[in-house]
């Protein structure tokens, strides 16, 4: 799940919890939306929390991005894995499952790529790999 989708999910959950917390504070009981005004209030709260999250995420993409760039050192299409030489740092393992795109997912030696480094079962590996 990418960062924006994760933030959207978390924001939706926070908005729903906020709606029920406000209802509990106002009615001193668990309040389920039953009227059009209740649903409008829920939509407004959700919209505000989600918009706030998306604006915050967009503002910090460059400052806090975990994305890196590098060059494909080698990639064996038959075996489905290879290595990427990071622009800053050591080489990282890449598996075909971690390459973005439709159909056959492969990258070529010498190709420039963007990716996120994660810790896998056997150490650092590239994830969310996309060709530049």
All structural domains of the chain with their residue ranges: 3-64, 67-131
Helix (H) or strand (E) holding 6: helix 3-27
Helix (H) or strand (E) holding 90: none
- In 3D space, the residue among 117, 128, 62 whose CA is nearest the CA of residue 87 turns out to be 117
Residue 74: the pLDDT is 95
Q: Whole-number mean pLDDT of the chain? A: 82
CATH superfamily of 67-131: Nucleic acid-binding proteins (2.40.50.140)
Q: Answer whether residue 88 shows pLDDT above 90.
A: no
Residue 33: the pLDDT is 83
pTM: 0.51
Q: Answer whether residue 58 shows pLDDT above 80.
A: no
Q: Which of 2-11, 56-65, 107-116 has the highest mean pLDDT?
A: 107-116
* Alpha-carbon 90 to chain mean position: 24
Residue 28: the pLDDT is 77
């Amino acid at each position: 799940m990418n960062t924006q989708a994760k933030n959207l999910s978390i924001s939706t959950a926070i908005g729903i919890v906020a709606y029920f917390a406000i209802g509990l504070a106002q009615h001193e009981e668990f309040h389920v939306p039953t009227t059009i005004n209740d649903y409008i209030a829920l939509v407004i709260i959700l919209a505000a929390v989600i918009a706030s999250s998306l604006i915050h995420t967009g503002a910090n993409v460059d400052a806090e991005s975990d994305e890196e760039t590098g060059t494909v050192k080698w990639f064996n299409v038959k075996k489905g894995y290879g290595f990427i030489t990071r622009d800053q740092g050591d080489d990282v393992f890449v598996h075909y499952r971690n390459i973005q795109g439709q159909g056959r997912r492969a990258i070529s030696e010498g190709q420039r790529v963007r990716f996120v480094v994660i810790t896998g079962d056997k150490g650092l590996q590239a994830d969310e790999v996309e060709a530049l």
